[in-house]
Amino acid sequence: MPKSTWLPREWADKGAWLEAVHHAARRLRRDVAHATPVQIRHAIEAASLLNPGPWGAEFTLHHGESWRGAVVTWKGRWDGTVLWIHGGAFAFGSPRVYRAAAVHLARATGCRVVLVAYRLAPECTFPAAHDDVDRALSHWLSKGEPLVVVGDSAGGNLAASAVQTALKQGQDASLLRGLALLSPWGDLRKSARSMVANRAAHSPFDRQDTLDYSQAYLAGHPADDPRVSPALDTPVEGWPRVYLEWAEDEFLAPDIATWRAKLAASGTQVQVRTEPSAVHGWQLVPDLLPEARRSIASLGCWVRERLGLNAAEAPVGHADAS
């Protein structure tokens, strides 16, 4: 079928079309709607209600002193524990927003997926989110059961920082079998490679967004503190194996590639998975995107391997790897 001639020539290319859409969305959000972080948060929460994930899961909220969040299981089964720290630029996200992705991961692994909630900016600034995640990790490590920690985007920052903090404090992290970082935001400095490159063509956010949200959370705290920029820190003894995933064309790709090299140089065993092209946060919608289904399937296999679960006993009907 011949290409449509009524569209602008550059829109005949998928990449150019996506670039135009993302540019328009950023302009609309910032310059026209002047949407605040709280307004965006409410919109994301409302949209998430339309996608609770596959039927057959249990989603149980938890509000305790040591941790807050939710536990997701698939048909009452759990062979192990995954602690997922959600992303959202320290300003968005919640267990409800991550419910669908967690259901898919629970189905793929046969594990319970613990979604950790933490205080959000701009209402709560550093160290609120880091402290909340540190407490949650300490709680689950104290239960004496093997676990894998997952963190995406800003959640990758919080997850890596919590692991490093636990080890520096001398906590017994022998039961921490793996750390999965999905498109992690590990460097909050203005001088970070991703900030300088500003590869925003296929990104829903750009340098200005990244700067605004990091400053809103840091509230004057130095961005070169390794606790808030864990990619700058060298893993201490005892770091678990790392699963690192990102899209080669996403905004944070330069920083993630640098972090990968640093981890490898430290002796940390790193398993890498990339997508050639994907929108940041694609892992959250496996019901809609084939790249998200690939991510969940790959991560699910890695989680089961790290927890010593027999791959042959993986749950029937796990995430499609297509």
Strand pairing class (112-117; 68-74): antiparallel
Write the DSSP string, 96-144.
TTTHHHHHHHHHHHSSEEEEEE---TTTS-TTHHHHHHHHHHHHHHTTT
Residue 38 has what pLDDT? 87
Confidence of residue 318 (pLDDT cuts 50, 70, 90): very low
φ/ψ (deg, to 5) at 256: -65, -40
Choice between 27 and 42, residue whose per-residue pLDDT is larger? 42
Type of residue at 186:
G
* pLDDT at residue 21 in the model: 55
Predicted pLDDT of residue 28: 56
Mean pLDDT for 288-304 is 97
pLDDT digits (tens, 9 = 90+) for 69-93: 999 999 988 899 999 999 999 999 9
Q: Is the dihedral of CA 303, 308, 311, 313 positive or negative?
A: negative
Model confidence at 285: pLDDT above 60: yes
Task: List residues bridging with 151 in a β-sheet.
Answer: 85, 181
CATH number of the 35-310 domain: 3.40.50.1820
pLDDT at residue 276 tops 70: yes
Q: What is the mean pLDDT of the chain?
A: 88
The pLDDT, as a whole number, for residue 80 is 95
Q: N- to C-terminal Cα distance for the chain?
A: 26
Mean pLDDT of all residues in 212-234: 97
Per the CB < 8 A criterion, the answer to whether 161 and 126 are in contact is: no
Bridge partners (DSSP) listed for residue 58:
73
CB-CB contact of 276 with 247 (8 Å): yes
* Separation between Cα atoms, residue 74 and residue 50, nearest integer Å: 19
| Residues 107-135, mean pLDDT to the nearest whole number | 98
Examine the pLDDT at 16 and tell me if it is beyond 80: no
Residues 6+ apart with CB under 8 A from 202: 15, 18, 19, 22, 249, 250, 277, 279
The helix/strand/coil state of 58 is strand
Average pLDDT of the segment spanning 182-188 = 98
CA distances from 19 to 10, 155, 180, 220, 247 (A): 10, 26, 29, 33, 15
Enumerate the β-bridge partners of residue 113.
72, 82
Q: What is the pLDDT of residue 204?
A: 77
Mean pLDDT, residues 220-247 taken together: 97
In the chain, the percentage of residues whose pLDDT exceeds 90 is 74
Q: Where are the domains of the chain?
A: 35-310
With a cut of 60, say whether residue 3 has pLDDT above it. no
